[in-house]
Chain A
């Protein structure tokens, strides 16, 4: 149970993902926000209107995956860092994930980092495709990594492996 462990169940995660049909069309946001709390920056930052404007700020985000183009504005605006952008079309064998990453050192583009699941356990290596840290992101850099497609539902975080660690 999420309230006991802090980890969403497989059903909850599956419910945040769009259909395979949508995944095969290109980048799309996945929002893992399951608790009603007063919070709405995801909806106010979405320029596509893909996240339905909140009537009550305690509502859960209502994301229309068809309208979403994976622009990732919501990713660095979410105070809970609960959103990532998934691109299943990255390659034949790999899916790319764009994650908020607020740690130092930032990984280097072209390097390899450890991929973690929602429990913080290492499940794979990932290739770092891109790191963006522009002023508008207000110190929430975005890191895009490529991961084997079999980890689509389990991959959730990265760890920069440093020398001597």
Chain B
């Protein structure tokens, strides 16, 4: 059994920033990433990020990964394990991992779980057909593998992911026939919406998918309008000839390890599903387990990075590895988070935090 100081599960923006801050504080850190590439969802984000300079606003997501990896490579107290899946986090604090096909057990002093989130699916007849993908899947196909998903797309969901992926589809030469949202208003940033509208892509609010049809794969989708009570308006059905449907109706935290390890969990709608209860320093109900990023509640990459830094600092301090600028950084990171969450766009986050903070 290996002894380790800080073990970070997940090499996305939250995990990488947690590793940076914990290592800068003097802790020995291991980062386990199940994929062969670091960066999590950042590696598919070809657009410029929002937020402020401190969260790399104006920089493309794909470039932010490189910035974080470069920082980690400068430190010799960080070990990065790629192609390494964390299989379990047991209640006694033992972790088991599969590292390139080899099974190992580790007992870290502290664990930071930064496993992110996955796409929700939508229920409608034939929703299991090939051609119907999560929006992130289409992003992976296009931006990582350089493969177009199809020719004509129906985007279901006008949150930031739906709007951004629609724009990226157009950049890849794929036609987006329409973007739907069941809500009466567009959920994503309106500048993203305006950008896609002036390309001629319709955004239909109060609309949803009624059914999908096709022989072996998607050939057409039937959409329908909803009334103020979210009920289908009879006779408002329209058929669209599409070979790709992107389901972008929200994410849910990948919380299996947290459940297994015995952390106290709660279903918090504002956060997208089950999340662990946590202190303001991101410690769960278990003293040795911390969280960072979307696994604690669906938000944005900018806040995931700041949370990563907070968790990294806090975790290191808890094993007496205190960053020389701890107080300054602690204050700054919390101010950054407050700033990101202060506006209307952060209403649901603040509401969720009231329920999740212990």
Chains A and B directly touch (beta carbon < 8 Å):
yes
Known: A79-B49, A116-B198. A102 touches B171 (CB 8 A): yes
Roughly how many angstroms separate A126 CA and B194 CA in the complex, as a whole number?
A: 21
CB-contact partner of A118 in B47, B184, B194, under 8 A: B194
Cross-chain contact of A36 among B170, B193, B205, B344 (Cβ < 8 A): B344
Distance from B123 Cβ to chain A, minimum over Cβ atoms (Å)? 25
Contacts of A80 in B (CB 8 A): 50, 189, 191-192, 194-195
A18 adjacent to chain B (CB < 8 Å): no
Interface centre among B50, B201, B339, B340 (most CB of A within 10 A): B50
Q: Mark A20-62, 1 if CB is under 8 A from B, else 0.
A: 0000000000001111111111001100000000001110000
Asked whether, in the complex, the Cβ of A120 is within 8 Å of the Cβ of B191, the reply is: no
Say yes or no: A3-B185 contact (C-beta < 8 A), given A116-B200, A118-B198. yes
Q: Which one of A8, A45, A119, A140 contacts B200 once the chains associate, using CB atoms below 8 Å?
A: A119
Beta-carbon contacts of A145-157 to B below 8 Å, as 1s and 0s? Answer: 0000000000011
- B58 within 8 Å of A (CB atoms): yes
Residues facing A in B207-224 (CB within 8 A) are none
Q: Is the C-beta of A77 less than 8 angstroms from some C-beta in chain B?
A: yes
Contact with B along A67-102 (1 / 0, CB 8 A): 000000000011111100000000000000000001
Q: Is the CB of B197 within 8 A of A3?
A: no
Closest Cβ–Cβ distance, residue A147 to chain B (whole Å): 14
Q: How far is the CB of A76 from chain B (nearest CB, A)?
A: 9
Residue positions of A touching B, CB distance < 8 A: 1-8, 32-41, 44-45, 56-58, 77-82, 102-103, 116-121, 138-140, 156-157, 159
List 27 contacting pairs A-B, 8 Å CB cutoff, sorted by A.
Answer: A2-B194, A4-B184, A6-B194, A6-B197, A32-B194, A36-B344, A36-B345, A37-B50, A38-B302, A38-B340, A38-B342, A39-B57, A56-B339, A57-B340, A58-B339, A58-B342, A79-B50, A79-B58, A80-B194, A81-B195, A116-B199, A116-B200, A118-B197, A120-B198, A138-B48, A138-B60, A140-B48
In the A-B complex, the 4 residue pairs with the closest CB atoms: A120-B200, A80-B191, A6-B193, A58-B343
